[in-house]
Amino acid sequence: MSTGTSALTAEDLEFLRRPLHGFLSVAGGPTPPQPRPVWFEVTAGGAVQLFTSPDAVKVRRLRRDPRASIVVAAPVGERERWLSVAGRVTVEPDGAHDLCARLAARYWDLDDPARAGDLAGLSAEDWVRLVLHPETVRRYVS
């Protein structure tokens, strides 16, 4: 059954704390929107944050129109479940490197030397933190 609210529930937060990929769509892009898979983290306050390059197309679009959404779905083999969070995004100059390190540890096995090297490469790059502030939350749980 699909339902909608303006806030994340405890069950939503538990779901979003899993290492799942989200698909981010931003306003102001081509028609139809072009979602991109992203790593993400939900904050204690219920915002969704991710990191990206400061000159990424999505950042330029978000500076013009801060509306975006992320959709996260359960993997194949589990009961069907998805969550969609839409709202306004702020582009934050701080905290992106710490977020990158946390997400790399969440999504990769950093004991693997290749992945540790990948993280070292990411750590050397410039990043900004995108923070999606939920205004509309829709969910489906079968």
Phi–psi pair at 122, nearest 5 degrees: -65, -40
Which residue range(s) make up the domain with 30? 2-92+126-141
Residue 79 has pLDDT above 70, yes or no: yes
Residue-level pLDDT at 1: 53
Total domains, the chain: 1
As to burial, measured by CB atoms within 10 angstroms (0-12 exposed, 13-18 middle, 19+ buried), residue 31 is: exposed
In the predicted model, what is the mean pLDDT of the chain?
93
104 within 8 A of 127, measured Cβ to Cβ: no
Nearest to 26 by CA among 68, 81, 88: 68
Q: Please, what's the largest Cα pairwise distance for the chain?
A: 44
What is the reported pLDDT for 72?
Answer: 98
CA 29-137-76 angle, to 5 degrees, is: 85
What CATH number should be reported for the domain holding residue 41?
2.30.110.10
- pLDDT at residue 76 above 80? yes
**How far is CA 13 from each of CA 8, 38, 47, rounded to the nearest angstrom?**
7, 17, 10
Does residue 102 form part of some domain?
no
The pLDDT of residue 32: 76
Nearest Cα to Cα of residue 24 among 55, 61, 54: 61
Residue 30 has pLDDT above 80, yes or no: no
- The answer to whether position 109 is within a domain reads no
Confidence at residue 101, expressed as pLDDT on a 0 to 100 scale: 97
What would the mean pLDDT of 53-70 be, rounded to a whole number? 95
Q: Please indicate, yes or no, if residue 58 is contained in any of the structural domains.
A: yes
- Is residue 80 in a domain? yes
Whether 117 is covered by a domain: the verdict is no
- The verdict on residue 100 lying in a domain is no
